Structure 1
């Protein structure tokens, strides 16, 4: 089974932001332990006695709020880079999925449904492709932060599975989405960072985090299909004109991985 960890950034009804992002990554179920065991030591830099007290959460990390208050910008940035750089592990083959909607392009009451439809469809196709290419029958499960739109997403998942959606019908989902407390799930926290830095790319034209994420967005026959967008031409032009940031991100911290890729 593959798990798709998802989180959102922005809000469809927030007048202070222009975009809504639903994003995260897919991972094989037996590899979750390895990924978590490599995120926790990054948290331990900031609280060795209780690493679980440190939550990787995009907006507080960027703004030095909550448990990140008082931590130097260089240390916060390095932690962010080190977490996102775990996407690079070739054996894990993590794949990023995201929907980005510029809120001016559709009514607010359609944004969440269209976002989940886009991400769920591409994840379902990803699972179907495994059977087509390798005869590897896999099912999928979406895992979200419990603070997200729990009832709405569960209803949408059931609807898309049994009656279909604009792009077809979900055929490879094992169950409706599961909701967890992000404080207890390092992988939900990683999904939060992915969603936040995709959001910053579109909202603030800050491409530093997006550069770490973009190579791992799902591709099919060389086409980047894992990122589905509904944005204006003005936004496309602004993204094409982004200049190098005054404060570029550092390289990831070199480290040895003490655990194998599978739990056991």
Structure 2
């Protein structure tokens, strides 16, 4: 069983704020069930070594500015950096763990006539991310000679958004293959969990943050630490496999 954990960096912007926000990222981490147990133990061990109690989130690594305390507030900035590095090392230590992401360029999205709202952006990114997960499951099935299945776990976003996403997921799973992939390897039903209760979503959040930073600020320091774990083509290409740009085009 393969588990796809999904989290986002920021929220999809409106058409008015698209130019300022620039990008929206859905980050996904695919973890085999037998590796999840080990990664959960790694997260617990690393947090204990830094005396971190509570949820690990990308935004908590920023320098504190006197606001509401976070689980990382007691750490100086250099210790935050080493903590993040240790977490990335734990994630990438398992070769079976794969990263799949979708990066949306918001101004280009709103240049398409069929995209009018932030929800449109989120849902189309979700569709592309789950499609790549299905393709990965198909590849694994062919490689080992029997069917490999997976489930999808998302961070909760609020009652209305969660209900809409469940409906979208159900529509995708029941598709007949016209303009939508046939999700034959994904077990029906979407699991939604609070990020502070999910090991996989906390890692997905760190992945999404690293990818957003690379595209928004042209800062690849964190992306380079996870680059070896992205899903790739048979020739080793990340583009279109581990990092899907949406919409297609020169941006």
TM-score range, shorter chain: 0.7 to 0.9
| Alpha-carbon spacing, 1:177–1:217, altered in 2? closer, same or farther (3 Å) | same
Q: 2-side partners of 1:175 and 1:128: how far apart?
A: 16
Partner of 2:136: 126
User: Is 2:82 the partner of 1:78?
Assistant: yes
1:202 to 205, 215, 240: 215
Partner of 1:220: 233
Which secondary structure state, in structure 1, belongs to the residue aligned with residue 25 of structure 2? strand
Q: 2-side partners of 1:168 and 1:190: how far apart?
A: 27
Q: 2-side partners of 1:210 and 1:165: how far apart?
A: 35
Q: How many residues align?
A: 229
User: Is 2:66 the partner of 1:54?
Assistant: no
Q: 1-side partners of 2:84 and 2:28: how far apart?
A: 15
**Larger CA deviation: 149-158 vs 71-80:** 149-158
Indicate conservation of the 8 Å contact 2:125/2:246, yes or no.
no
User: Is 2:100 the partner of 1:97?
Assistant: yes
Partner of 1:255: none
Which secondary structure state, in structure 2, belongs to the residue aligned with residue 3 of structure 1? strand
Deviation track 1:211-241 (CA, whole Å, cap 9, x = no partner) reads 01222110121232121012664x5xxxxxx
User: Is 2:34 the partner of 1:21?
Assistant: no
| Cα distance, 1:137 vs structure 2 | 1.3
Q: Which runs of 5+ in 1 are unaligned?
A: 236-264
Partner of 1:39: 43
Q: 1-side partners of 2:190 and 2:148: how far apart?
A: 16
1:136 to 134, 146, 150: 146
Indicate conservation of the 8 Å contact 1:117/1:165, yes or no.
no
Q: 1-side partners of 2:191 and 2:169: how far apart?
A: 11
Partner of 1:68: 72
Deviation track 1:23-57 (CA, whole Å, cap 9, x = no partner) reads 1211111221100101112111332xxx5x33210
Q: 2-side partners of 1:24 and 1:34: how far apart?
A: 18
The TM-score with structure 2 as length reference comes to 0.84
Indicate conservation of the 8 Å contact 2:29/2:98, yes or no.
yes
Q: 2-side partners of 1:143 and 1:196: how far apart?
A: 18
2:174 to 154, 162, 180: 162
Indicate conservation of the 8 Å contact 1:8/1:192, yes or no.
yes
Partner of 2:112: none
| Cα distance, 1:167 vs structure 2 | 4.3
Deviation track 1:139-177 (CA, whole Å, cap 9, x = no partner) reads 111111123642232212111111246342211111222
C-alpha RMSD of the superposition: 1.9
Q: 2-side partners of 1:41 and 1:57: how far apart?
A: 17
Q: 2-side partners of 1:120 and 1:63: how far apart?
A: 34
Q: Which runs of 5+ in 2 are unaligned?
A: 110-114
